[in-house]
Every structure is written in structure tokens, then in C-alpha cells.
Amino acid sequence: MTTTITTVDRGWPNHVAVEGPSGLDRPSWIMTEQPRTVSREHLTGVAGSVSPRCLAEVRTWLGDFLDL
């Protein structure tokens, strides 16, 4: 599962700021309300990374949205 990323800070609590050396060229926020599924065949490499803390926060929001 993936989520959409935006460069617009809307100040929404469920938009998680990308922390650490992400590989992105500008400040970005993960839009946890927009999960996506992606076929493994379409994954060709690593686009970037996030800190363990950022990943934990995203997982918490996704779990809440998906009632996991």
C-alpha cells in the first residue's frame, strides 16, 4: 500500500510531515486519507525514505482510517 504525498501544508493533523533525509527535493506531507494499492510489477526502485517515527505515525493514521 502507498499513500499520496503533497507539497502543500494544509495543517491537517492526518497529513504527516516527511522527516529525515527523504530524497525529496522540497518539504512534503503524506496524505494518509488517500491510501493506494500498487502492483509489485510497477515498483521499479526506491523513491525515497522516511524516519521510523514518521512511518509509525503514518501507520497509526492508516490503522485508524481502515479500522485495523
d(CA 1, CA 39): 9
CB 54 within 8 A of CB 21: no
pLDDT tens digits for range 55-66: 999 999 999 988
Which residue blocks in 6-51 are alpha helix, DSSP H?
none
The reply to whether the predicted model has a pTM over 0.85 is no
Which residue blocks in 1-68 are alpha helix, DSSP H?
52-65
Extents of the domains making up the chain = 2-39+47-65
What is the three-class DSSP state of 29? strand
pLDDT tens digits for range 30-50: 999 988 887 888 778 777 788
